Amino acid sequence: MTRTNRQWKLAKRPEGAISEGDLELVPSLVADLEDGQALIRNIYLSLDPTNRIWMSDMDQYMPPVEIGQVMRGGTLGVVEESRNPAYPEGALVSGLGSWQDYAVVPADFFQTFEKPAGVPLTAFQGVLGMIGATAYFGLLDICDPKEGETVVVTAAAGAVGSLVGQIAKIKGCHVVGIAGADEKCEWLRSLGFDAAINYKTENVLETLKQHCPKGIDVVFENVGGEILDASLTLINQNARISLCGLIAEYNAEGPVPGPYMFRNILMKRARVQGFIVTDFAPRFPEAIGQLAQWMAEGRLQYRVDVVDGLENAPSAVKKLFDGSNKGKLMIRVSEEP
């Protein structure tokens, strides 16, 4: 059976924000399977700030997407046809795929998984996937937060940030989140954050001072720019800064200055550590197991922002940069089985 595929290809590198024409939706036919291959129907496509990095040609942690290539993205799908016993028909698969309806993949390209009853499939694009692992290792391994310490989380209402704050609360920390809307701040407080700051309406440095009377011991940084500077101004001795993202920079054209309080890394004997979750791949089961348990105990809340239709991926991904998404952003490419 010949299927029609649609693929979002990178037509040119964005200048500043992603705009129309940077990506091009190209129809094609799905090729017949060869031995060892499987045909995957994508169900959910994960949209993440790092997509913007891959579209650029800046020096980065994996090769950029080349012009003319199908855009890269985390996908969750189902095996529709298979000539590989590792991919039984009907099995769920996830991994680093592409912005398209269908994928023909070789052995070992995707990981199969089982969805326990009662857990929504979308959780595997969030708390029980790379997002959860990012929060888990980026906070616990990189920062080792101690009970009673103050933890600041930026992009705190984002998919990763909201989990980081909740994990820090489970560990007994004083947790302050920074987000870009009152509604998001309310949600953070409802999750147990001790305070939440709306960086669009409040003076971040002054408000942070009020909410961190004992200074800041741990920063989980997703943003960079002025917001990171505010945290750096208030760090305590031996502070740990987990550098997970610098979303304030990804759309920048030309050189972006580093934090003006860079010198406080020296003065406070602080540590800034960049990390990429894939470095922790061998330990993913540990993270996912613990996160699933906390979720079952009702200690981890999350929300998803599902946008229908592959055709809407380029417009939807922009929500990550103007702060209008609410929870883990993903595209519903096709219906769940």
Instruction: Say whether residue 165 binds its own copies (CB under 8 A).
Output: no
Give the integer Cα–Cα distance in Å for 126 and 130. 7
CB of 301 to its own copies, least distance (A): 27
The residues facing 40 across adjacent strands are 79, 103
Tell me which residues in 253-272 interact with its own copies (CB under 8 A): 255-272
* Cβ 317 vs Cβ 49: under 8 Å: no
The amino acid present at 314, given as its one-letter code, is P
Distance CA 131, CA 267 (A): 33
Among 57, 144, 279, 286, the residue binding its own copies under the rule CB under 8 A is 279
Q: Is 205 in the site for its own copies (CB under 8 A)?
A: no
Q: Please answer whether residues 37 and 329 qualify as being in contact, where contact means their C-beta atoms are separated by less than 8 angstroms.
A: no
CB of 176 to its own copies, least distance (A): 20
Smallest gap from residue 143 Cβ to its own copies (A) = 12
Q: How far is the CB of 262 from its own copies (least distance, A)?
A: 3
Tell me if 246 contacts its own copies by CB under 8 A. Answer: yes
- Does 85 contact its own copies by CB under 8 A? no
**Among candidates 79, 76, 77, which has minimal Cα distance to 88?**
79
Dihedral of CA atoms 92, 97, 102, 105 in degrees, nearest 10, equals -80
Cβ distance to its own copies smaller for residue 119 or 272: 272
Query: What's the min distance (Å) between Cβ of 184 and its own copies?
Result: 23
| Residue 125 beta carbon to its own copies: minimum distance, rounded to whole angstroms | 22
Nearest partner of 183 among 163, 201, 160, judged by Cα: 201
Residue 31, C-beta contacts closer than 8 angstroms, at least 6 positions apart: 104
- Contact with its own copies (CB under 8 A): which of 26, 86, 119, 276? 276
Taking contact as CB under 8 A, which single stretch among the options 9-17, 51-59, 72-80, 296-304 is the one that binds its own copies?
A: 51-59
Report the C-alpha gap between 152 and 147 in whole angstroms: 14
Residue with Cβ nearer its own copies (165 or 224): 224
Whether the Cβ atoms of residue 259 and residue 229 lie closer than 8 Å to each other: yes
Label residues 144-162 b or e (16+ Cβ within 10 Å = b). ebeeebbbbbbbbbbbbbb
Minimum distance of its own copies from residue 270's CB (angstroms): 5
Q: Which of 243, 292, 295, 306 binds its own copies (CB under 8 A)?
A: 243
Site size toward its own copies, by CB under 8 A: 36
Q: What span, in angstroms and rounded, lies between the C-alpha atoms of 253 and 113?
A: 40
3 state SS of 35: coil
Q: Contact between 213 and its own copies (CB under 8 A)? A: no
- Token readout for 160 is 């990763």
Other Cβ atoms less than 10 A from the Cβ of 23: the count is 23
Shortest distance in whole angstroms from residue 214 CB to its own copies: 16
| Position 49 contacts its own copies (CB under 8 A) | no
Stretch of residues binding its own copies (CB under 8 A), selected from 5-13, 52-60, 133-141, 169-177: 52-60
**What part of residues 58-77 is at the interface with its own copies (CB under 8 A)?**
58-61
In the complex, what is the shortest distance from the CB of residue 162 to its own copies, in angstroms, rounded to a whole number?
Answer: 20
Report the residue number, 238 or 312, with the smaller CB distance to its own copies.
Answer: 238
Q: Which parts of this chain interact with its own copies (CB under 8 A)?
A: 53, 58-61, 224, 233, 237, 243-246, 249, 255-276, 279
